[in-house]
Amino acid sequence: MKLTKSDTTLNEQDALQDMLESEKQLMTLYTTALFEGSTRSIRKNFSSNLLGVAENQFTLFTQMSSRGYYEPQPANKMQIDQTNDTYKKQKNLLKAKC
């Protein structure tokens, strides 16, 4: 089977989605590297790169959102309250252990 250009070319939405996912993965990698950095200079470098990747990710999100490719659903009040309760419980557990 011979592939044609249209079989191997991403459309705009798929290309933006791929870039967004790549930026998210980079954010995870830089966060881990920042945690593991053993010198002040390398941690500063990782931190700077992390902030740059975060800006790229937000730019891609904004572009996708403006084109109707990425439409996050707003959380309802019950979901927000449940999440707040979960984190408050975790915070209290951590305080109790200290």
Q: Specify if 42 maps to a domain.
A: yes
Cα(47)–Cα(32) distance, integer angstroms: 11
Segments forming the whole domain that contains residue 18: 12-97
Cα(45)–Cα(91) distance, integer angstroms: 31
Q: Specify if 37 maps to a domain.
A: yes
Task: Classify burial at 69, counting beta carbons within 10 Å of its beta carbon; exposed 0-12, middle 13-18, buried 19 or more.
Answer: middle
- Structural domain tally of the chain? 1
Q: Specify if 3 maps to a domain.
A: no
Give me the pLDDT at residue 27, please.
96
Q: Specify if 6 maps to a domain.
A: no
Q: Specify if 82 maps to a domain.
A: yes
Instruction: Give, for all 98 residues of the chain, the pLDDT tens digit.
Output: 676 766 678 899 999 999 999 999 999 999 999 999 999 999 999 999 999 999 999 999 999 999 999 888 888 999 888 988 899 888 888 888 77
Task: Classify burial at 61, counting beta carbons within 10 Å of its beta carbon; exposed 0-12, middle 13-18, buried 19 or more.
Answer: middle
Q: Specify if 28 maps to a domain.
A: yes
Dig out the tokens for 15 from the structure.
């290309």
pTM of the predicted model, to two decimals?
0.68
Q: Specify if 2 maps to a domain.
A: no
Q: Specify if 7 maps to a domain.
A: no
Residues in the chain: 98
